[in-house]
Amino acid sequence: MTKRVALAFSGGLDTTVCVSLLKEEYGYDEVVGVTVDVGQPESEFEEAKETADAHGLDIHVVDAKDEFAELCFDSVRANATYQGYPLGTALARPIIANAILDVAEEEDCDAIAHGCTGKGNDQLRFEAVWRTSDLTVIAPVREMGLTREWEKQYADEKNLPVQSGNDGVWSIDTNLWSRSIEGGQLEDPSYVPPEDIYEWTDDPAEANEPALVEISFENGYPVAVDGEEMDPADLIEHLNDLAGKFGVGRTDMMEDRMLGLKVRENYEHPAATVLLTAHEGLEQLVLTKEERDFKTQVDDQWSQKGYEGLVDAPLVKALEGFIDETQTKVTGKVTVKLQGGQCRPVARESDYSVYSEEVASFNTETVGDITQEDATGVAKYHGFQGRLANDVAAGVEKPELAADGSGADESEE
């Protein structure tokens, strides 16, 4: 009986060596390669095909770009970031994992495999999806304790054309929403990255005239740029190109992974930066303080589950119930200014605004039928408990209250 395994195949170093290892070390007769399109550049598919041909491997290419774009827009509604950067790779992994699982089941595979190491997050994100099935999960790099240096030597011995970004110096992962660069000298936190690690963003120091860009939202979803309506994937690609010219969307950070390791990561995410900035600017206009305060907690929880690759968890569905309710008012337009690597909102408008220029203006005397003098009582009470606590701590004697509560001592009358 033929033993068949489906492999998450990108054509990069890790997955390339896994093809041979699954046959030589694990005894599988056939490896079914699966490449999932979540917005990678065309060159990556060409490289994957070149590597697959060298192996004699037929690969399935699954188009999940639109599905991924929709999840990215869900993340905008949740203001989803992890330790300060927009989620990209993390959101793509469940989409990729589900697509590979579908192929594995269609091809009657006995097992499903990935090329993740035992130190990263992606092993957890893939397997959270795959372990819902009865297929055996295999992780050759993790299980055999492989290093990048060993893999490079192995690929050379097998004469495999491995592409891994900058001739293998960096490990690069690209999708519609973000581009990550790691490995090599970047693992040293004191190393200053060269400008050539970036592809999506120009040097922010380059002189560019500032640009104003208008983003339109309906129910929290981005729908148009400068009045032109676009599908999610097209809108993201347009903003990646536009904002990238101003150096918008670079992150160089020390990131805390799920396994407890701290790692150095570099990211590019121009469109994500613009859309998250604009969305939050619109929420500031249309949501009450109580909604904004509570939604911060909801967004943090959504972001954490998104980082873990658990976007289908029951908690996420519950969180999205609250998000859906708040987003019914997040309809309007936000103008952002792009300049020198920065993106900031400079104007916003919505029919659901809870802001009143007349009420807030210093040039108007009253707030409806409320006069300025009405604030005097509030001002007296504000901070009263704290003042009382400080007096008690300092040993200040509390005043005696008269029977009528006036504060006068009856014996002194």
Annotated binding-site members for ATP: 8-16, 115
pLDDT category of residue 198 using cuts at 50, 70 and 90:
very high
Return the CATH number of the domain spanning residue range 4-166.
3.40.50.620
Active site residues: 14, 93, 122, 171
* Residue with more model confidence, 234 or 13: 234
CA-based nearest residue to 347, from 245, 286, 278, 292: 278
What span, in angstroms and rounded, lies between the C-alpha atoms of 378 and 39? 55
pLDDT at 101 over 60: yes
Return the CATH number of the domain spanning residue range 188-287+329-358.
3.90.1260.10
Residue-wise pLDDT for 349-396, tens only, equals 999 999 876 666 666 777 778 888 888 989 999 999 999 999 999 988
Segments of 207-304 assigned E as strands: 211-218, 221-225, 228-229, 250-256, 262-268
Tell me 186's DSSP state: G
pLDDT category of residue 158 using cuts at 50, 70 and 90:
confident
Annotated binding-site members: 8-16, 85, 115, 117, 121-122, 125, 171, 180, 255, 267
Question: Contact 128/310 with Cβ under 8 angstroms?
Answer: yes
**What pLDDT shows up at residue 208?**
80
pLDDT at 166 over 90: no
**What pLDDT shows up at residue 168?**
58
Question: Can you tell me which residue has the tokens 């922010």?
Answer: 204
* Residue with more model confidence, 118 or 167: 118
Spans of all domains in the chain: 4-166, 188-287+329-358
Question: Which of 169-183, 292-306, 331-345 has the least mean pLDDT?
Answer: 169-183
* Residue with more model confidence, 229 or 205: 229
Question: Contact 177/271 with Cβ under 8 angstroms?
Answer: yes
**What pLDDT shows up at residue 413?**
44
**What pLDDT shows up at residue 79?**
98
Annotated binding-site members for L-aspartate: 117, 121-122
The pLDDT of 312-332, averaged and rounded, is 98
pLDDT category of residue 162 using cuts at 50, 70 and 90:
low
Residue-wise pLDDT for 34-79, tens only, equals 999 999 999 889 888 888 888 788 899 999 999 999 999 999 999 9
What span, in angstroms and rounded, lies between the C-alpha atoms of 175 and 173? 7
What span, in angstroms and rounded, lies between the C-alpha atoms of 343 and 345? 7
**What pLDDT shows up at residue 398?**
72
Annotated binding-site members for L-citrulline: 85, 121, 125, 171, 180, 255, 267
**What pLDDT shows up at residue 404?**
59
What pTM was estimated for this model as a whole? 0.90
